Amino acid sequence: MNNSLPELQYVTSLDELFWGTILVTITLTMHGFGMLAVLRVNLLVKNRIGKKTRIVVNLFPIILASWMILLVHLIEVLVWALFFIWKGAFPNQSVAYYFSLNEYTTVGSNFNLPLHWRLLEGMLATAGLLAFAWSTGMLMTLAQEFQDRHVQLYKAQYEKVPPAPGEGHDP
């Protein structure tokens, strides 16, 4: 076994731990404020829609929330990419953003950080996993509200329909 490979000589530094912790904290703080904004806009849109029963109209708040959540994730990735550009880890903004997005989504990338920043690859993926879990919970909540509303509408509609001949009340 060759112990002279740079990867085998890697040692986690306090600098890496410090910046990784700061970036994860920034990411999740941004995500928290982003999710609060999604909830606020969702409530405003639902209030505007009111009691309308058309499924497409009632689906709009979920679609809007999905777009907003996607935007929040993309901005969070941008923060990581800007850090990597600031630290000179990549030759340009496109590569930094591409790498950050792929690591954030845990897809992985054919690029790597310089050896002294390698721990941040895992920390970036961890931040992405936590943010996606939070977003999934948010969308599940909104989807459940949508489904509950439409189940109630279908039940109300069904109860108003008189039974067909030969069905219904027993003599």
CA-wise closest residue to 81 among 63, 97, 104, 65? 97
Q: What angle do CA 32, 34, 36 make, to 5 degrees?
A: 70
Tokens representing residue 116 in the block: 């002294």
| Structural element, H or E, at residue 61 | helix 55-86
pLDDT at position 163: 58
Q: Considering only 35-39, 100-104, 124-128, 152-156, which range has the smallest mean pLDDT?
A: 152-156
pLDDT higher at 99 or 165: 99
Angle at 121 between CA 120 and CA 126, to 5 degrees: 90
Q: What is the pLDDT of residues 134-154, one digit of tens each?
A: 999 999 999 998 888 878 877
Pull the structure tokens for residue 18: 């410090």
Neighbours of 131 (CB within 10 A): 24
The pLDDT tens digits for 42-97 are: 999 999 988 777 888 889 999 999 999 999 999 999 999 999 999 999 999 999 99
pTM over 0.85? The answer is no
Amino acid 156: pLDDT: 79
Please compute Rg for the chain using Cα positions.
24
